[in-house]
Amino acid sequence: MYPSRFGYESPRALDEAIELLTRGQGEAKILAGGQSLIPMLKLRFASPEMLVDINNLPGLSHLTVDPDGSLRVGALCRHSQLERAAALAGPFPTIAAAAPLVADPIVRNRGTLVGSICHADPQGDWAAVAIALGASVVAQGPSGRRRIPVADFVSGPFQNVLAYDEVAVEVVFPAAAGTAAGGYLKLERRVGDFATAGVAVGLERSGSVVTRAGMALTGVGGATIDASGAAQALVGGELTADRIARAAEGAAAAAKPRSDHRGSAAYKRHIVHTFVTRILTRVADDVERAA
């Protein structure tokens, strides 16, 4: 691989990293797992003057559940850590379902959830999961920290709202009130392929009644699609076949897919419909079994 010439810094402290970014005036780029950035450099789609490698920063590898039940995922927490965290299945079933479907095992050993969300690829799996679960990015810059809901964080394809001197230090997933439910389904042509279409559903329920519902779609639009509007059909009642059908239809209508070599637009829309139905039907079955 022969990228354009670039400088390289490997700071040992977060302040130092922010300092380097500030000096870079927008010409410096953060290198986390490198699984998206390195291919961009190789293809010369990105030609930053400087790479600020954050892999040596301390205290960013965490995958922590706080006392209030919220989950904090550090900027250096790898996809594989999420995949292996068996304890997530109960409180964060959507994350547990998505982790083994992101990329392939080799990429999962390096790539990070935070990096994936910063990269804002419309076909990235984590942004959909984060939006469905109402997660936020915690960003740190010269003037301190701020918290940005992921739904507002991604500003377009491959674009986010971070200032050039800010580092996303973690993503926080709020704790579910009541029982968490949901899932992630992805259609791919092969392991390691980006999604032909993906659906993330995050629910909170009290007994058999859904109290909160979030939904987002991968790979069926110019950016990750927040389909939480369609998910509102589920809130306030049981997961009946009728409600499931309305949510599925709403999600399919929210999708804005394009025809390409992965499949036709109509087919992708159909897959969204099918996957929403499958995730919700499985949850409904689980609820029924538990009752």
Partner 1 sequence: MTALDEIKIGGLGASRRRVEDNRFIRGKGNYVDDIVLPGMLHMEILRSPVAHARIVSIDTSKAWAIPGVRLVLTGEMMAKRNLAWMPTLSYDTQAVLATDKVRFQGQEVACVIADDPYIAKDACEAIVVEYETLPVVVNPEQALATDAPLIRDDKENQQDNVVFDWEVGDAAGTDRAFAQADLVSKIELHYPRSHPSPIECCGSIADFDRSTSKLTVYMTTQAPHIIRAAVSLVAELPEHMIRIVSPDIGGGFGNKVPVYPGYVMSILASILLERPVKWIEDKTGNLISTGFGRDVYLRGEMALRKDGKILGVRMHTLSDHGAFFADAQPSKFKIGLMHSAFAAYDIPAAHLLARGVYTNKAPGGVAYRCSFRVTEAMFFQERMVQAAADDLGMDQAEFRRVNFVRDDDFPHRTAFGFLTDSGQYGKCLDVGLEAIGYADFQERKKEAAARGRLLGIGISTMTEPLGAGNSREYDILGIKMFDSAELRVHMTGKALLRTGAKTQGQGHETTWAQIVAHELGLPAEDVVVEEGDTDTAPFGMGTYASRSTPVAGAAVAMVARKIRAKARKLAAHLLEVSEEDVEWELGRFYVRSAPNRGVTIQECAAAAYSNMPDGMEPGLENVAYYDPPNLTWPFACYIATVEVDPQTGVWDVLNFVAVDDCGVRINPMIVEGQIMGGLTEAYAMASMQFITYDAEGNCVGSNYMDYLLPTAWETPGFELHEVVTPCPHHPIGAKGIGECATVGGPAAFVNAVMDALKGFGVRNIDMPMLPDRVHEAITTGRDVSGHPPVRQDD
Which one among 22, 211, 274, 281 touches partner 1, defined by CB under 8 A?
274
Q: How far apart are CA 248 and CA 226, in angstroms?
A: 14
Least Å from the CB of residue 167 to ligand FAD: 5
Measured from the CB atom, the residue of 212 and 268 that comes closer to partner 1 is 268
Q: How far apart are CA 282 and CA 181, in angstroms?
A: 10
Site map (CB under 8 A) of partner 1, residues 68-107, x = contact: ------------------------------------x---
Least Å from the CB of residue 260 to partner 1: 7
Site map (CB under 6 A) of ligand FAD, residues 111-130, x = contact: xx-xxx-xx----xxx----
Q: How far apart are CA 31 and CA 115, in angstroms?
A: 9
Q: How far apart are CA 144 and CA 228, in angstroms?
A: 31
Residue 78 structure tokens: 């790898």
Using CB under 6 A, which of the segments 106-114, 235-243, 245-253, 279-287 binds ligand FAD? 106-114
Integer Rg of the chain from CA: 19
251, 228 in Cβ contact below 8 A?
Answer: no
- 10 Å CB burial of residue 156 (0-12, 13-18, 19+) is exposed
Q: How many residues bind ligand FAD (CB under 6 A)?
A: 29
Which one among 5, 8, 67, 86 touches partner 1, defined by CB under 8 A?
5
Give 186's strand partners: 198
Using CB under 6 A, which of the segments 100-108, 177-185, 241-249, 263-271 binds ligand FAD? 100-108
Residue 209 structure tokens: 């009644």
Query: Which stretches of the chain bind partner 1, using CB under 8 A?
Result: 1-2, 4-5, 43-44, 104, 187, 189-194, 196, 258-268, 270-271, 274
